[in-house]
């Protein structure tokens, strides 16, 4: 794998982590406005799940393991 591929992979991991943390922060903000604050233990659990997702993505990047495929090949979907 080239250096540019590793750099793009690390940027991709950072973008995913930032988006997940931003979604969590928005949920905490909305719930606190509604008067149902989310306990700190649940927030730490969410951050731990985000860290595990980032670790999985990093290991997949280093080892070259394909991650979860959202869009599969079109030939697999067509039946003869």
The pLDDT of residue 79 is 52
The pLDDT of residue 54 is 94
Separation CA 38–CA 41 (nearest Å):
8
Residue 53 lies in a domain: yes
The pLDDT of residue 71 is 56
Neighbours of 17 (CB within 10 A): 16
What confidence category does residue 72 fall into, taking pLDDT thresholds of 50, 70 and 90? low
Query: Would you say residue 80 has pLDDT above 60?
Result: no
Separation CA 36–CA 44 (nearest Å):
17
Residue 11 lies in a domain: yes
∠ CA 60-53-56, nearest 5°, is: 20
Average pLDDT, the chain: 85
Residue 74 lies in a domain: no
Separation CA 79–CA 70 (nearest Å):
19
Is residue 42 within a helix (H) or strand (E), and if so which, with residue range? helix 40-63
Residue 73 lies in a domain: no
Q: Which domain holds residue 25?
A: 3-66
The reported pTM is 0.75
């Amino acid at each position: 794998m080239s250096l540019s591929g590793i750099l793009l992979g690390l940027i991709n991991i950072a973008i995913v982590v930032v988006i997940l943390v931003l979604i969590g922060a928005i949920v905490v903000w909305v719930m606190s406005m509604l008067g149902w604050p989310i306990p700190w233990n649940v927030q730490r659990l969410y951050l731990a799940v985000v860290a595990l997702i980032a670790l999985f993505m990093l290991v997949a990047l280093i080892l070259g393991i394909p991650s979860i495929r959202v869009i599969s090949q079109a030939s697999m979907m067509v039946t003869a």
